[in-house]
Amino acid sequence: MKVLVQRSLESSVSVNNNIVGNIDKGLVLLVGFTHTDTSEDIDYLVKKVVNLRVFDDENGVMNKSILDVGGSVLSISQFTLYADTKKGNRPSYINAMGGENATKLYDEFNEKLSEVVKVEKGVFGADMKVSITNDGPVTIILESR
């Protein structure tokens, strides 16, 4: 499981020109799954995301978590995180988990995350337009393995 984390001032996701999720200060998560991912991977990354100290403290040092600043999460499914570009110029997505299983894990991830922090999300498998105001910019890649 991979989660690309971006610290955000404001972000939104639209499907068919309709906003389906938006946040102010918080984190945008691009979330991808591979074939061997389980609930253990989800538990690990939920804990990592909510405790990740990427927000500034009083001294301007990244020392606060999303819990400390009362931020929200915008979670977007992103199978392309598992793109393999080693051969040729067209990415292969063979390492990305397929639809039904990935949907279940994505839902579980968001449910567990929402037990701790406010979560907005995109629509799994939809053609989404994501608008991110990356604060910093701060972008971090988390992996469960």
Report pLDDT digits (tens) over 62-116: 999 999 999 999 999 999 999 999 999 999 999 999 889 999 999 999 999 999 9
Report pLDDT digits (tens) over 31-63: 999 999 999 999 999 999 999 999 999 999 999
| Both structure tokens of 11 | 């972000």
Predicted confidence (pLDDT) at residue 145 exceeds the cutoff of 90: no
* Domains parsed from the chain with CATH numbers: 2-143 (3.50.80.10)
Known catalytic residues are 78-80
* pTM (predicted TM-score): 0.95
| Both structure tokens of 136 | 């910093």
